[in-house]
């Protein structure tokens, strides 16, 4: 095999082999015989060592001028192996297989002989549905998870992929979510990194079982009608010397310039995103998870770090060749990534975790964008939490923390995230952030969740927040499921489930998330209440949202409505079923015949203290001139 007879080696060198995982690494080529292929462009020699050779080196052969090395050896599935790289200085260094599909359990870093994981898929109906219905006009409500701390055995050990599938999938389905987002499951050494400091870009972590078990987890989710998204980290990788760092004794996957290679903020190495072979490697990783593992999307981590030269600590004065702060090769890589992914998977979710004001992150490339189809709305999240953490009587002068989001809501296709980052490292859980005593904390949390679920944009909530866990998230132990023995937590869980299901049931809350026609504000100047209408595709499909942001009940409160007739309150956050005090709820409301706030009519309600109401048309009538 050489570059003249292997067009994919040529494409790999050009940064255009997007299924390089089918060739690189270890693959079974005949019964008991494995072929090894590795990229080590500046190595003086490469050998494979493993259980199958009693850890004696088996030399590989260079393939022309490609920088790739190949060879074959007999071995059994599951046997461990590594590469021995002889550097130009004559030093022999031990390295992982960058393309391995499986690794031994930490703290070891040896790969396992494992060909492409196999699974008999049963998700054709799910796959067809994704292709038929654009995600933009569907409900998208994501349950973010860290599998290692959702639940554990009594002795503190991890549950397996199989055990997690039986536990997680029915729970997430029952709670009314549409997707599960998994924090990085690619192989990593340090538990405390939560998977964001990676070494295995093609290997589901061995913590929870075999690669095939992970595929079965995804299949089970799809059969249950749940999508699966995974966090993916193409910007940087773990520093450990036996992984990707200085792979052939020189900067290989990282930048040649040590200043650019050094990621100070996360203690990692930055990928050289301008290097074509690195592009083939990373885009192939994305394709592996989307294509071979049937994931529905990737949340791309730390996009800002790939957009700017000066994003990292100590690099405030870094500039590109044109004197600007843009990371030109990083931006080009992201466009290439998204172009490649959507060419193969038009229905995929490519979500940017991006915290700057970089324009058009979620716009198509031919419109000057980066090509993602979603971006996390970090500004909305920060402002919302800042507002709700205040004492209610201190909020009067700060309603703009909520309403400012309306200025830029449609600048991007946003996901509203209450993620793991907001409930860890001393930040407190969402419930614990709320002001007042325990009762008022839950009342505030319910109102904030209504704001979250009715504001334009798709949704993401981190595990445990749905029942108001008091403790902040800890990666080293299970969620505090014992909380659900407390009636307040159980009621909060019931509220979140009810709200999730109501969200899915009412198209007006999601079908026009990215169109200004999908929302009309009727009361936005406060300072104590907000009211707005979420609108669907027809004149009769709308939901009226009213927030009382003060702990004071208001009698006979007027609410503008877009048509005369009868309305019903479909959600009252102060219902005793949800932990509130209201046992007798208003149901049917009749319009008064009085126009209000630019609308043709109004209804009047008792607005509970610190509450939110969702109101829907029951039987409305329109004048002939109304549309």
pLDDT at residue 624, as a whole number: 55
**Could you tell me the two tokens for 505?**
């049931």
How is residue 555 annotated by DSSP? E
- Site of tokens 């292997």: 6
Respond yes or no: is residue 553 known to be catalytic.
Answer: no
Dist CA 44 CA 42 (whole Å): 7
Low-confidence ranges of the chain (pLDDT < 70): 1-5, 623-627
In 3D space, the residue among 503, 509, 616 whose CA is nearest the CA of residue 569 turns out to be 616
Which domains can be identified in the chain, with CATH numbers?
Answer: 7-112 (2.60.40.10), 519-621 (2.60.40.1180)
Residue 107 preceded by cis peptide, ω within 30 = yes
Maximum alpha-carbon separation in the chain: 89
Question: Which residues does residue 181 pair with via DSSP β-bridges, in sequence order?
Answer: 144, 229
Q: Is residue 60 a contact partner of residue 48, using CB atoms and an 8 Å limit?
A: yes
- Pairing relation of β-strands 198-204 and 186-188? antiparallel
State the catalytic residue, choosing from 301, 412, 466, 601.
Answer: 301
Return the number of other C-beta atoms located less than 10 Å from residue 333's C-beta: 24
- C-alpha 257/C-alpha 605 separation (Å) is 66
Span 168-182, pLDDT tens digits: 999 999 999 999 999
CA 265 from chain center: how many Å? 21
Both tokens assigned to 140: 């998208």
Q: Residue 415, CB half-sphere, CA atoms under 13 Å: how many?
A: 32
The pLDDT assigned to 1 comes to 46
In order of 177, 278, 506, 540, 579, the CA distances from 499 in angstroms are: 10, 44, 11, 21, 14
The verdict on whether omega for the bond into residue 527 sits within 30 degrees of 0, i.e. cis, is yes
Q: What are the backbone angles phi and psi of residue 380, rounded to the nearest 5°? A: -60, -45
Sign of CA dihedral 589, 593, 596, 601: positive
Of 312, 353, 354, 472, the active-site residue reads 353
pLDDT at residue number 380? 98
Phi, psi (5° rounding) for residue 458? -75, 175
State pLDDT tens for residues 4-42: 458 889 999 999 999 999 999 999 999 999 999 999 999
301 is catalytic: yes
Query: Rounded to 5, what percent of the chain is helix, strand, coil?
Result: 30, 25, 45
Q: What is the β-pairing status of strands 141-145 and 458-462? A: parallel
End-to-end alpha carbon distance in the chain? 69
CA atoms of 372 and 354, how far apart (whole Å)? 11
The one-character DSSP state at 474 is: -
pLDDT of residue 133: 86
CB contact burial 68-82 (16+ within 10 A = b; e otherwise): bbbbbbebeeebbbb
Q: Is the dihedral of CA 574, 577, 582, 587 positive or negative?
A: positive
CB 247 within 8 Å of CB 43: no
Residue 97's nearest CA partner among 187, 222, 178 is 187
């Amino acid at each position: 095999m050489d570059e003249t007879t292997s067009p994919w080696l040529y494409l790999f060198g050009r940064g255009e082999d997007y299924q390089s995982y089918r060739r690189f690494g270890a693959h079974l080529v005949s019964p008991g015989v494995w072929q090894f292929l590795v990229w080590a462009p500046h190595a003086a020699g490469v050998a494979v060592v493993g259980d199958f050779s009693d850890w004696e080196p088996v030399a590989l052969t260079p393939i022309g001028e490609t920088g790739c090395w190949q060879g074959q050896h007999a071995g059994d599935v599951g046997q461990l192996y590594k590469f021995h790289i002889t550097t130009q200085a004559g030093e022999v260094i031990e390295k992982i297989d960058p393309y391995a599909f499986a690794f031994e359990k930490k703290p070891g870093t040896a790969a396992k002989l494992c060909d492409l994981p196999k699974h008999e898929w049963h998700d054709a109906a799910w796959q067809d549905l994704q292709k038929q219905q654009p995600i933009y006009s569907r409900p998208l409500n994501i349950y973010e998870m860290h599998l290692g701390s959702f639940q554990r055995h009594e002795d503190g050990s991890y549950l397996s992929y199989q055990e997690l599938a039986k536990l997680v999938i029915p729970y997430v389905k029952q709670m009314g979510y549409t997707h599960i987002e998994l924090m990085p499951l690619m192989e990593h050494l340090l538990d405390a990194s939560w998977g964001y400091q990676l070494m295995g870009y093609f290997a589901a972590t061995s913590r929870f079982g075999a690669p095939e078990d992970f595929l079965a987890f995804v299949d089970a989710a799809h059969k249950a009608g749940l999508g699966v998204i995974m966090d993916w980290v193409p910007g940087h990788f773990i520093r450990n010397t036996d992984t990707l760092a200085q792979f052939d004794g020189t900067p290989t996957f990282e930048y040649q310039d040590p200043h650019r290679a050094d990621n100070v903020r996360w203690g990692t190495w930055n990928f050289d995103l301008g290097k074509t072979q690195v592009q083939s490697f990373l885009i192939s990783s994305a394709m592996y998870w989307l294509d071979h593992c049937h994931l529905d999307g990737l949340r791309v981590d730390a996009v800002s770090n790939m957009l700017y030269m000066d994003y990292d600590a100590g690099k405030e004065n870094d500039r590109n060749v044109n004197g600007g702060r843009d990371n030109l090769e990083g931006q080009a890589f992201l466009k290439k990534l998204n172009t490649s992914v959507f060419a193969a998977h038009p229905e995929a979710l490519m979500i940017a975790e991006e915290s700057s004001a970089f324009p058009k992150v979620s716009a198509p490339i031919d419109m000057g964008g980066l090509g993602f189809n979603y971006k996390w709305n970090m500004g909305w999240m920060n402002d919302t939490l800042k507002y709700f953490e205040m004492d209610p009587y201190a909020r009067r002068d700060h309603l703009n923390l909520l309403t400012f989001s309306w200025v830029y809501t449609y600048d991007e296709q946003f996901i509203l995230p209450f993620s793991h980052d907001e409930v860890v490292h001393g930040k407190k859980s969402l419930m614990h952030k709320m002001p007042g005593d325990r009762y008022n904390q839950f009342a505030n949390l319910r109102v904030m969740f209504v704001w979250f679920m009715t504001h334009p944009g798709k949704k993401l909530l981190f595990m445990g927040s749905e029942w108001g866990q008091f403790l902040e998230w800890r990666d080293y132990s299970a969620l505090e499921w014992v909380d659900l023995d407390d009636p307040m937590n159980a009621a909060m869980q019931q509220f979140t489930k009810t709200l999730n299901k109501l969200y899915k049931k009412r198209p007006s809350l999601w079908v026009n998330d990215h169109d200004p026609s999908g929302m009309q504000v009727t009361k936005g100047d406060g300072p104590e209440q907000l009211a707005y209408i979420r609108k669907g595709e027809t004149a009769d499909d709308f939901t009226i949202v009213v927030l009382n942001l003060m702990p004071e009940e208001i009698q006979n409160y007027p609410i503008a409505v877009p048509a005369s007739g009868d309305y019903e309150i479909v959600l009252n956050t102060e219902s005793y079923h949800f932990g509130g005090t209201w046992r007798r709820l208003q149901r049917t409301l009749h319009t008064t015949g009085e126009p209000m706030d630019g609308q043709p009519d109004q209804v009047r309600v008792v607005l509970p203290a610190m509450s939110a109401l969702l109101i829907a048309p029951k039987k409305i009538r329109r004048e002939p001139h109304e549309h």
